[in-house]
Amino acid sequence: MDIHHPSLSEREPALDLVADAFGNPRARRPAVRAAVLTDPDYSAETTLLATDDDGEVVGHLATKRSAIALDGEWLSVARLGSVCSAPNRRRRGIGAALVEAAAALYPDVAAIILNPAAEEYVRVFYETLGFRAARRTIGCWQVLAAAVPLGEPLLVRAARAGEAAVLDRLYVDHYGQRNGSKQRTAAWWDRRIAGEPLLWAEMTPRTLVAERDGQAVAYAVVTDDDDHRVWELAGAPDGATALLSHEAVRHGDRFTVAIDPHDPLWPLVAVCAPADLSPEPGIVMVRAQDQGRLADTLGRVLAGRSASLGGDHRTATVTAEGRTLACDWTELLCLVYDGSVLAERMEAGAVQAESNHQALWQAIFRARPATRRMTDAF
């Protein structure tokens, strides 16, 4: 078996493998395939293939250098996605070899992260490679279109080519303090502006902008494919109201908004008789990579939560009010990302702390009030 970056002639067979391994017919659609193969974030330099002795593509993995927000700090990460092997070559170490080869491409990031498939055996596979599951929440509320307030008569239009930097600034200002929000590239925004179809979801997102005095003050990422959804809403309240009103008029009955009650724009949704359609929490898998970089970022995050961080190469120790909690660095990242798993981790013995001080640690390792957006799928 050989692991390498794909040649030009191997990129189409790689997408055939993705289609077969995941049962994903979208990977064979010309429009989706054209979008993927011209995506700068899915380049040969960031993709790995496994081939057998005959040169057949039997494994695939895509990577992306990125960062995730933790209390306003950006943690450097490498994201892995589309990890698969040929259905007739499974359980032969191909996936594990691809993951380790991908990790070797990014020795300088604080952590490796990925969104696994839902099956339990997939989670177990990544746990054998040192990954741990952090909790991931998805908020989804159905609103009555007739209950959406009209707001100011701002101009609502499609996002334009060249507006990536403006939209990203609105995104970071709105979501940058929220744990788990991902750093985005200009190419990501360009794809959303162009309305390209997604590989991993049956939808073609469009980006709308609310404009005041010639300036973009809010945006929404919307789809009509998966019922009718506002997957993302960010910016000034008057602009966000104009965008919701625009979608209410266009749809005319009910539509869903990906948001949660901790969002600054939640009051705009709360007045629309929302019904909670949020699914059960899922997971994101994480693994510590460069322990020094991870400790540096988590140390600043915990200092903001009135705790201090120490430890050695293997074990992280967190001190607060004279009490100490200890775990490995990957477990600590899970707790900082979403502390709702604290009691479970303590009971399993992965986190060592006095159980009668759990309230102290729960105040430091808070539950994550952020929403994952489908448009951030790899």
Count the Cβ atoms, other than its own, within 10 Å of residue 155. Answer: 14
Q: Provide the b/e sequence for 363-376 (b: ≥16 CB within 10 Å).
A: ebbbebebbbbbbb
Give residue 374's pLDDT: 46
Instruction: Note every long-range contact of 356-359, with CB atoms under 8 Å and residues 24 or more positions apart, other chains counting.
Output: 357/323
For residue range 182-239, list pLDDT tens digits in order.
Answer: 889 899 899 899 888 777 777 788 999 999 999 999 999 998 866 678 989 999 999 9
pLDDT of 226 reads 62
Cα 85 to Cα 117: distance, rounded to the nearest angstrom: 14
Crossing angle for the helix pair 164-175 and 186-194, to the nearest 10 degrees: 110
Q: What are the backbone angles phi and psi of residue 291, rounded to the nearest 5°?
A: -60, -35
Strand-pair category, 275-276 with 215-223: unpaired
226 CB-contact burial (10 Å; exposed 0-12 / middle 13-18 / buried 19+): middle
What confidence tens digit (pLDDT) does each residue in 97-119 have?
Answer: 999 999 999 999 999 999 887 78
Q: Tens digit of pLDDT per residue, the chain (378 long)?
A: 999 999 999 999 999 999 998 888 888 888 888 888 888 888 999 999 999 999 999 999 999 999 998 988 999 999 999 999 998 888 889 999 999 999 999 999 999 999 887 788 889 999 999 999 988 777 889 998 889 988 888 999 999 999 999 999 999 999 877 778 888 989 989 989 988 877 777 778 899 999 999 999 999 999 886 667 898 999 999 999 999 999 998 877 889 998 988 899 999 999 988 999 888 878 889 999 999 999 999 999 999 999 999 999 999 999 999 999 999 999 999 999 989 889 999 999 999 998 778 889 999 998 876 555 544 544
d(CA 41, CA 53): 29
pLDDT at 291: 96
Q: Which domains does the chain have, with CATH numbers?
A: 2-109 (3.40.630.30), 141-278 (3.40.630.30), 287-364 (no CATH)
- The one-letter code for the residue type at 69 is A
- Asked if 287 and 100 touch (Cβ cutoff 8 Å), the reply is no
Global pTM value: 0.88
Q: What integer pLDDT is reported at residue 360 of this predicted model?
A: 93
Task: Tell me what pLDDT residue 378 has.
Answer: 42
From residue 272, alpha-carbon distances to 83, 235, 266 in Å are 40, 19, 10
Structure tokens at 258: 């990906």
CB distance 145 to 185 below 8 Å: no
What's the one-letter identity of residue 237? P
Give the tokens for residue 301. 């995050």
